[in-house]
Amino acid sequence: MKISKAVITAAGKTQRTLPLQRLVDKDGEPRTALSIIVAEALSAGIDEVCVVVHPGDEPAYRESLKGTAARTSFVAQELPKGYGHALFCARSFVGDEPFLHLISDHLYLSHEGETCAAQLVRIAVRESSSVSAVQATRESQLSAYGAIGGIRLSGSPDLYVVEMVLEKPSPTEAEQLLHVPGLRAGHYLCFFGMHVLKPSIMSLLEDEIGAAAPGQPVSLSHALARLSTVERYLAFEIRGVRHDIGDKYGLLIAQLALAFAGRDRDFVQTRLLELLLPRERGRG
């Protein structure tokens, strides 16, 4: 299974300006969040990237990409019908190929030499399967994520066969339905904001769109729940961390994480200490 395409969804009402926010990357270069996310995709061997945008946003997004604009195309989500519908808007781009999917309000930092996207693509190719990246997450954060239940794949400590998917479950729902043997108490496997999906997901999303009531947003999680019942669908516990730049202080935390993982670590650490430690007064 070869994965050469990636889809980034950026059309949501609360997402539209986030990808254009500027940060300093690990190499000390100012870049937009979108540019960093596209680079994450390309690090996994992706040749073409499609960004799903709100109508009219393409010029600003294209301008923000610097040298990767030539490898990036755009498609507009003409009507705000939810996350699942936004992904479905890239159906023509995807065609009959598996693809990497990332979201535009998350930045990813790997704990290994491989980027998070490269880890996930490697596993998906090896297993020839749709695979969602997940991370063990405290139950207090369940309201922000979709979560999965399943069983650990024999002989693979970080791979799970997905048996159930719930969108933003309550702690009670998670305790009853999403138990995963081996996780710490009070922790659940929540989506990381990154998936490798076979093109069959588009047919499932089309069904979800057709069944949605007027004004009801189409959920990707519902389609993934159905995916787990019709074909082999795995979850991979990624070796890295996600930073939601849409959270309160999310951009600040993401910027600090990039700085501490990069070449300017010592400089930033020194400046932070100057801010945090009270200045001595009355001397000199």
| Residue entry with tokens 């600003």 | 60
10-residue averages of pLDDT along the chain (284 residues) = 96 88 94 96 97 95 86 95 97 97 96 96 97 95 93 91 95 91 90 97 97 93 96 97 94 96 93 80 48
What class is the 5-275 domain? alpha beta
Instruction: Please name which of 209, 236, 234 lies closest in space to residue 220, comparing C-alpha atoms.
Output: 209
Residue 240 to residue 255: CA distance in whole angstroms = 16
pLDDT at 243: 95
Instruction: Please name which of 186, 187, 188, 225 lies closest in space to residue 205, comparing C-alpha atoms.
Output: 225
Q: Please answer whether residues 133 and 194 qualify as being in contact, where contact means their C-beta atoms are separated by less than 8 angstroms.
A: yes
Domain residue limits, the chain: 5-275
Angle between helices 220-230 and 200-211 (to 10 degrees): 120
pLDDT at 284: 47
Write the CA distances from 264 to 26, 169, 215, 253, integer angstroms: 8, 39, 47, 16
Residue 74 to residue 66: CA distance in whole angstroms = 15
